[in-house]
Amino acid sequence: MAGGNGRAIDYNALVKPDAVHGDCYTDPDIFADELKKIYGRGWVYIGHVSEIPKAGDYIRSWLGLQPVIFSRDKAGNTHVLFNRCTHRGASICQEDKGNTGGFRCEYHGWFFRLDGALSAMPYADAYGENFDKTQYNLRKPPRVDAYRGFVFASMAPSGLSLREHIGAPALAQIDYACDLSPEGELLVQSGATKLAYNGNWKLQMENSIDGYHPNFTHQSFISAIERMTGAKMEIFNGDSKLQSRDLSMGNANIDSRRHNIEHPHAQARLQAMQKTAWGKKYYDDLVKAHGKARAEEVLTVGGTHMNVFPNLVVLAQQVRTIRPVSTERTEVFLRPSFLKGVPDEVNTQRLRAYEGFYTTAGGGIHDDVEMFNRVHEGLRCSHDPWLIFRRGMHREQTDNDGTLFGQCTDETAQRGMWRHWKSVMQQEMN
């Protein structure tokens, strides 16, 4: 199989059912091949519509290494535009976010509208009478689509639809996160915490759905929680009812449904909502919007904890984007998500819970990042290149919806991600 530099890469030999070769993280040729086959072909998460709520709003994002602008035009339509002047190649948008009437390339003054249309060039007569401006609009990925506000782009003109790419089981998980809002909408407009580490982007994807590491990597956080609550935190043990689930298509989650619904605290949590005016209002509005059964289900389950392949993570109060930079470097953007149409107290509570774990000065995420750096160092030992993903292979089961699941400390979720990665990398470019 031809890799990034035309070198033959045998992906079948690199990804076994129970193990992954270290080259999948460290080989620059494989990284270059990923940029073509994953980030340059399949659906890639760009941003959330609520990040650009008003006409003229824009943010910068990436399609792999390629910089893009996610903008909203005056008619309210959203666009994904390559951040590159069609004249001589300069990037035309410099700020990470803002509001503008259009994008002017400051090199020679070409001006593009929010929908990417070339509007004007200085001294246009030099291009002659028959010059067709529409040939020089900002370039766009051929396909852009959204599910519940999550906007994706694909460089393939045809192929799987976004809904097929995500798949029904993962769509249902996104629904859990969104249905916590009576209006069914997340608001991703409360800033970001930004992290970077030395290592491959897939280290963060594997970790986001890893139910084996918390009791070890996050000892400092768990110890703090136990000190504050006075109770032992026994969520991520080997006999926990949390599940490691392969949602198919490379998507996966730590599934808390069974654990949270069967847990004696489930009813107590619902009852606690009745103790404050804002809790009661939230409960009542959610019941009004979704019906009692669904409202109580989503409240009890409490959102989701999932990956959408290749670069989106949706957690209870967070939307996370993974940005590959090289085999040596990855950036991660974590954004708290608010619920539309709920009392302010609900969102402030979500924000404080997020900050307790997921900020750079907070109690958890940096211990994850430390482990990514350590894996990256360890992978320099090429004597035994294999990373072992065999936990719980013997006890994996197929659920009614066709997904595979195991106990939360099993590596069912990671195996699913790697199976999909292999199948995508084995498909030649057309």
Residues that bind other proteins (CB under 8 A): 96, 190-197, 217, 219-221, 223-224, 227-228, 331-333, 335-336, 344, 347-348, 351-352, 354-355, 359-363, 366-367, 369-371
User: Max alpha carbon distance in the chain (Å)?
Assistant: 79
Whole-number Å distance between alpha carbons of 138 and 86: 6
Residue 192 Cβ vs other proteins, minimum distance, rounded to whole Å:
6
Inter-residue contact 403 to 245 (CB < 8 Å): yes
Residue 362 Cβ vs other proteins, minimum distance, rounded to whole Å:
7
Whole-number Å distance between alpha carbons of 410 and 396: 9
Which residues pair with residue 313 across a beta bridge? 307, 320
Nearer to other proteins, 127 or 216 (CB): 216
- Find, among 49, 122, 41, the residue nearest to 80 by Cα: 49
Nearer to other proteins, 48 or 79 (CB): 48
Inter-residue contact 327 to 28 (CB < 8 Å): yes
Distances, alpha carbon 421 to alpha carbons 27, 37, 137, 171, 259, in Å: 15, 10, 34, 19, 29
Nearer to other proteins, 112 or 221 (CB): 221
Whole-number Å distance between alpha carbons of 106 and 321: 29
Nearer to other proteins, 177 or 188 (CB): 188
Q: In sequence order, what are the residues at sequence separation of 6 or more whose Cβ sits closer than 8 angstroms to the Cβ of residue 360?
A: 193, 194, 195, 366
Whole-number Å distance between alpha carbons of 217 and 367: 6
Residue 314 Cβ vs other proteins, minimum distance, rounded to whole Å:
16
Residue 229 Cβ vs other proteins, minimum distance, rounded to whole Å:
12
Residue 281 Cβ vs other proteins, minimum distance, rounded to whole Å:
17
Could you identify the residue written with the tokens 């929010």? 114
Inter-residue contact 1 to 11 (CB < 8 Å): yes
Residue 223 Cβ vs other proteins, minimum distance, rounded to whole Å:
6
Whole-number Å distance between alpha carbons of 414 and 157: 29
Residue 369 Cβ vs other proteins, minimum distance, rounded to whole Å:
7
| Residue 210 φ/ψ, nearest 5 degrees | -100, 110
Which residues pair with residue 16 across a beta bridge? 19
Whole-number Å distance between alpha carbons of 29 and 81: 27
Could you identify the residue written with the tokens 């689509």? 145
Residue 256 Cβ vs other proteins, minimum distance, rounded to whole Å:
23
Nearer to other proteins, 225 or 261 (CB): 225
Collapse the DSSP code of 405 into the 3-class scheme (helix H, G, I; strand E, B; otherwise coil) and give the result.
strand
Whole-number Å distance between alpha carbons of 229 and 232: 8
Residue length of the chain? 430
Nearer to other proteins, 105 or 312 (CB): 312
Nearer to other proteins, 78 or 337 (CB): 337
Whole-number Å distance between alpha carbons of 372 and 328: 11
Residue 320 Cβ vs other proteins, minimum distance, rounded to whole Å:
13
Residue 32 has a CB neighbour count (10 Å cut-off) of: 17
Tell me which DSSP letter residue 87 carries. Answer: T
Whole-number Å distance between alpha carbons of 112 and 126: 19
Whole-number Å distance between alpha carbons of 284 and 274: 9
Nearer to other proteins, 165 or 218 (CB): 218
Nearer to other proteins, 14 or 342 (CB): 342
| Residue 326 φ/ψ, nearest 5 degrees | -165, 180
Nearer to other proteins, 94 or 423 (CB): 94
Residue 198 Cβ vs other proteins, minimum distance, rounded to whole Å:
8
Residue 217 Cβ vs other proteins, minimum distance, rounded to whole Å:
7
Nearer to other proteins, 174 or 332 (CB): 332
